[in-house]
Structure 1
């Protein structure tokens, strides 16, 4: 099954739409969040998502590595691509569980001793840590599934699924807050339900586009090459976020959660301006991977 080669301009526009729609949704939902749960709780929630994003390095770069290998195997048999997919998925699930355990232990220490959080909010954050730890394996599996679809240049399916997941990820906690459950454990649990549905949709799309057979096929001989490629991605993943999120950790530790909210909202909106070059990069990545 030879992968189609959509036009780069079309792929870029699809990726751009996939990034722009969540940005518009963010503009709409942030004021509602602030009204429903308050600035301090939203600041804690922002720190929680930052922790989850930074611990995404526990995917060991397998999302990008799988995208690279599947794109390179665009003219190979489906069995070869399946081996890459299932091997990457198995390792990502294991590393996600390990990362979740570490996040649980470290998160308790951060909220207890580093960030300036009032007594009730600190208790909420500590009670929410089991939910946050369980969210990490899902986030890492989403990265892997997205990499598989990107490698197949299935950008319409990928962005549609990511928009679907983002909508649920943003709206489910709002529904819970409207119902009167505004504590962090309820809000994070609702967001995790949205993540879980996103995983199921991405897996169904990967099943179609890779394509997969009902019986998993593993390629243990590919583990070394995946780890080698993913290792460099992991180095970038460790260093890069420190330069872009450390400021919010410092603000939270020195000033407090309300200041984190005041800083994070405009920062996130400005960072959305990078969606055009990022959309082009995503479209180009599998094309370069196909070239010797």
Structure 2
């Protein structure tokens, strides 16, 4: 049976798997931007976005594989576990090869004609994109292998490996640039690290499943995975199309320097929110396993607790980013980036908070076998969002792109949570609002007003910023402990703190 401590441990390991890489990346970005230059860093961002778009080839067999590995493992059906994993590997190897060949073939056209890349950067941009094509193949295998320990609810394994490689890559990137290397070598480093990451994951999976063997998947196994993944694929298409559209539109309409300003401003918000999003990710295999064993009461309990805690944590992170966006960017990247990106960072952070309210409902919806619903909503959201993004960039540049994200998030989140609760998610929206959202929202609103009053012109040094952020964090922690934690969890935490203090 899936227990709350196990869910919490998996959530924490999944979070920790991204914390160290995110911190190292954030601290190294100023140096990387300075060494590469605004235009070259914009090219690096553009290459990453192009690779992200080619991931549309991924039919999202990962989602189906995680669901059915979790179900078969819960039922102790080892043969089906092996068949599911084998099928997933075949699919992602094929996707990787097709994508690699496509990126390689189109690289010259994209560099010279499609995007507004300075002519003096054409040669190295072409080399970087072709190396990234190889990285696409390796990255597809890495993404699938990463999902296998997670399907087995062993986020401690996937988290540790991800933390190691995610931390090494930005550190080694700084080393390369310090030695005089440039954009192409940075991309080659990422490809090599991804290959080693794959080997580490394969070794870990062998230890988790010592009796694993490559097994030809039976027809019903293939049908089950592909049927589930077909609708999950809609969600993936929508997410990938929308995730990179802002930078590609800015790159096509405004140039590489504006891509850099937008990317840097949005990177911090995206990184922080992707970390808190990891707390939600563990719910998918949990929902699949509990559905397989018919423990729906247990699922509802975990759903409400997770929604309450994750919403408060996400809200706290966004509050800090939005209220202190200007001084954070000023001391992190300099006055120029603060002037260009403070509003962008604040608006993107708020958009991410609104989007995060769909994470757990969507994961439970999919875990209970209704990917069609989340897929159709995701496609609708992407189409509306893409239209808003184009208008936003045309009318107001990168700031317009940020506001387009905000309004698209607000509209589609409201529609999604209203539709799924009580239908595909077995909890009423009124109950969720009362138990999960009302009290955290009130605390966040009051603390946000206080933080906004601290974030004015008085923040003239980094130490004043640190003090203001620290005060806000203390208020959030105390309020969260007293009024957000469930009584049983508060008592458990108090007991453990006493034990630590007396040991």
TM norm. shorter chain > 0.5: yes
Residue 169 of structure 1, CA deviation: 2.9
- Cα distance in 1, alignment partners of residues 91 and 236 from structure 2: 18
1:188 maps to which residue?
A: 187
2:163 maps to which residue?
A: 163
Which has the higher mean CA deviation after the structures are superposed, 99-108 or 67-76?
A: 99-108
- Cα distance in 2, alignment partners of residues 115 and 130 from structure 1: 16
**1:192-203 to 2 correspondence within 5 Å?**
192-203=191-202
**Residues 225 and 178 of structure 1: CA distance in aligned 2, closer, same or farther (over 3 Å):** same
1:209 maps to which residue?
A: 208
1:284 maps to which residue?
A: 283
1:138 maps to which residue?
A: 138
- Cα distance in 2, alignment partners of residues 4 and 197 from structure 1: 34
| Root mean square deviation, CA, Å | 2.1
Query: Per the alignment, in what secondary structure is the counterpart of residue 217 of structure 1?
Result: coil
**Residues 138 and 177 of structure 1: CA distance in aligned 2, closer, same or farther (over 3 Å):** same
CA-to-partner distance for each residue in 1:110-149, whole Å, 9 max, x for gaps? 2111211112211111122321111111111111111111
Which has the higher mean CA deviation after the structures are superposed, 53-62 or 43-52?
A: 53-62
Does residue 96 of structure 1 match 2:96? Answer: yes
1:72 maps to which residue?
A: 71
CA contact (8 A) 1:206 1:212 kept: no
- Cα distance in 2, alignment partners of residues 266 and 212 from structure 1: 47
* 1:218 counterpart (196, 216, 221): 216
Which has the higher mean CA deviation after the structures are superposed, 62-71 or 271-280?
A: 271-280
- Cα distance in 2, alignment partners of residues 5 and 108 from structure 1: 52
Residue 163 of structure 1, CA deviation: 1.3
What is the aligned length? 289
TM-score (norm 2): 0.54
Which has the higher mean CA deviation after the structures are superposed, 93-102 or 269-278?
A: 269-278
Which has the higher mean CA deviation after the structures are superposed, 247-256 or 221-230?
A: 221-230
CA contact (8 A) 1:111 1:126 kept: yes
Q: State the structure with bigger RCO (CA 8 A, min sep 6), 1 or 2.
A: 1
- Cα distance in 2, alignment partners of residues 249 and 275 from structure 1: 21
Does residue 33 of structure 1 match 2:32? Answer: yes
CA contact (8 A) 1:251 1:260 kept: yes
**Residues 138 and 226 of structure 1: CA distance in aligned 2, closer, same or farther (over 3 Å):** same
CA contact (8 A) 1:87 1:220 kept: no
Query: Per the alignment, in what secondary structure is the counterpart of residue 41 of structure 1?
Result: helix
CA contact (8 A) 1:18 1:163 kept: yes
Which has the higher mean CA deviation after the structures are superposed, 170-179 or 4-13?
A: 4-13
Residue 238 of structure 1, CA deviation: 1.4
1:82 maps to which residue?
A: 82
Residue 212 of structure 1, CA deviation: 4.7
Which has the higher mean CA deviation after the structures are superposed, 12-21 or 168-177?
A: 168-177
Does residue 232 of structure 1 match 2:269? Answer: no
- Cα distance in 2, alignment partners of residues 105 and 85 from structure 1: 31
CA contact (8 A) 2:16 2:163 kept: no
TM-score (norm 1): 0.91
Q: Which runs of 5+ in 1 are unaligned?
A: none
Which has the higher mean CA deviation after the structures are superposed, 146-155 or 231-240?
A: 231-240
Query: Per the alignment, in what secondary structure is the counterpart of residue 73 of structure 1?
Result: helix
2:150 maps to which residue?
A: 150
Query: Per the alignment, in what secondary structure is the counterpart of residue 116 of structure 2?
Result: coil
Q: Which runs of 5+ in 2 are unaligned?
A: 293-503
- Cα distance in 1, alignment partners of residues 58 and 205 from structure 2: 18
Which has the higher mean CA deviation after the structures are superposed, 270-279 or 131-140?
A: 270-279
**Residues 14 and 45 of structure 1: CA distance in aligned 2, closer, same or farther (over 3 Å):** same
**Residues 4 and 55 of structure 1: CA distance in aligned 2, closer, same or farther (over 3 Å):** farther
Query: Per the alignment, in what secondary structure is the counterpart of residue 48 of structure 1?
Result: helix
**1:8-47 to 2 correspondence within 5 Å?**
8-47=7-46
